[in-house]
Amino acid sequence: MNAHTTITPFRIDIPQKALDDLEARLARTRWAAIPPGRDDRTDFSRGIPQPYLRELVEHWRDGFDWRAQEAALNAFPQLLTEIDGQTFHAVHVASPNPDATPLLLCHGWPGSFVEYRHLIPLLTEDFHVVVPSPPGFGFSTPLSSTGWEVGRTAEAYGEIMTRLGYDRFVAHGSDLGSGIVSQLASAHPERVIATHLACEQRLLGLVGVIFPMPDGLTPEEQSELAPLSAEAASERGYLEMQNHKPDTIGAALADSPVGQLAWIAEKFKTRGDRHPTPSDSVDRDDLLANVSLYWFTNSGESSAQFYYEAAHSGMPPAMGAPVPAGWVVFDAHPLVRRVMDPLQMIGRWTEFAEGGHFPALEAPELLARDIRDFVRSLG
């Protein structure tokens, strides 16, 4: 890491011309012809259905108040700092309790620091909360160079905590944030007090793809795993595009706000809890605030580049860091622990029937309670 350690306070201030441009682009949307039989707004079998997408676009154009969202997000103190030539954005909310534990929250894709907007106030009594954005995400743009993958990002996150004065801290993550957390704890167990990871049953679809297939699965367990793997396989199109062709999908995401909205909102359905539409899982304005952040920062393509760098880094997922670990599983399935913790080595394992891939938005009270209880259990 470089010796330049300046931390600059930051406030979101999207130029009005960017808002006007977004409104004009939404008004000029050229819609595809709706295929026969695709008029059900809850039918996501072929991707996001146009009737539902049109509802989101109409609200984004005529009902959504970005300035109100901007003001609410600016209630959280934010900063910019440069590491290895890359600008990093982070939220940093210090607890009124000076003895609070530093807590690093690591989001993934298609999330952002917006994902934690309802979680942060539930944690600050006990934690100094830090939420950085990975290179190419949100205000951690533009990308300064290639080579920003999980390991390098983990080192940068550790440097951010150092610059904020936190020598030791707890780290929580979900999605690719879990990989960053695990890598950071593996590389620096002397600094990471404990790791806390959130996931949901769709993680089972990555068994044999990213995570190893455990030995000794019974025929019954194999039969349960098969449809879950098939379901997840149908959702890996975005992963293959971002892992291998980010420039191609990036061109569409940079030019079309409706394309960016569809690309993200569909994942809030297939990864979220099992409601008819994403708007039934998370607040519609939270969803659109997250998508707006991707649009205004032009980070649809640059966040996809992170996937490419990670996929081509040759770095296997970090597993089993030598620090206390807690896992919380939303939309739980018994096979998750059987697959991810076959020897039951993880110290704390919690399962909830509700929630999904975005628990900080879907079930923030449950997630906050589990983080708090886990850290308190460490003594």
- Structural domains for the chain: 7-28+48-377 (3.40.50.1820)
Catalytic one of 307, 331, 333, 370: 307
d(CA 258, CA 262): 6
Comparing CA positions, the residue from 130, 136, 134 lying closest to residue 91 is: 130
Q: For residue 105, give the 3-state DSSP assignment.
A: strand
Closest CA to 172 of 327, 67, 361, 24: 327
Concerning whether 357 is annotated as a catalytic residue, the answer is yes
**174: which 2 tokens?**
């979900």
Q: Return the bridge partners of 127, or none.
A: 101
Catalytic residue among 92, 107, 172, 357, which?
357
Q: How far out from the chain centre does Cα 186 lie?
A: 21
pLDDT of residue 4: 67
Which amino acid is it at 215? D
pLDDT of residue 211: 74
**Which stretches of the chain drop beneath a pLDDT of 70?**
1-4, 272-273, 317-320
Burial of 296 (0-12, 13-18, 19+ CB in 10 A): buried
Would you state the pLDDT for residue 348? 95
Whole-number Cα distances in Å, 82 to 8, 87, 157, 180: 9, 4, 11, 18
Beta strands 127-132 and 192-200 are: unpaired
Entry pTM: 0.94
From the list 171, 174, 139, 160, the residue with the least C-alpha distance to 297 is 139
Which residues 6+ apart lie within 8 Å of 153 measured at CB? 134, 135, 180, 306
- E-assigned strand segments in the chain: 7-10, 78-83, 86-93, 101-106, 127-132, 169-174, 192-200, 325-330, 348-351
Is 196 labeled as catalytic in the residue annotation? no
Instruction: Give yes or no: 312 in active site.
Output: no
pLDDT at 273: 61
Which is nearest to 202 in space by CA: 211, 194, 193? 211
Of the candidates 90, 96, 93, which has an alpha carbon nearest to the alpha carbon of residue 113?
A: 90
Strand partners, 362: none
> What mean pLDDT value characterizes the chain?
92
- Cβ-Cβ contacts under 8 Å for 189 (sequence gap 6 or more): 321, 322, 323
Of the candidates 175, 273, 331, 370, the residue annotated as catalytic is 175
Q: Give CA 365 to chain center in angstroms.
A: 18
Nearest to 111 by CA among 364, 357, 367, 352: 357
Tokens of 257: 């706000």
Is the CB of residue 240 less than 8 Å from the CB of residue 304? no
Give the pLDDT score at 307: 92
C-alpha distances in Å from residue 111, one per residue of 228, 290, 293, 340: 23, 7, 10, 23
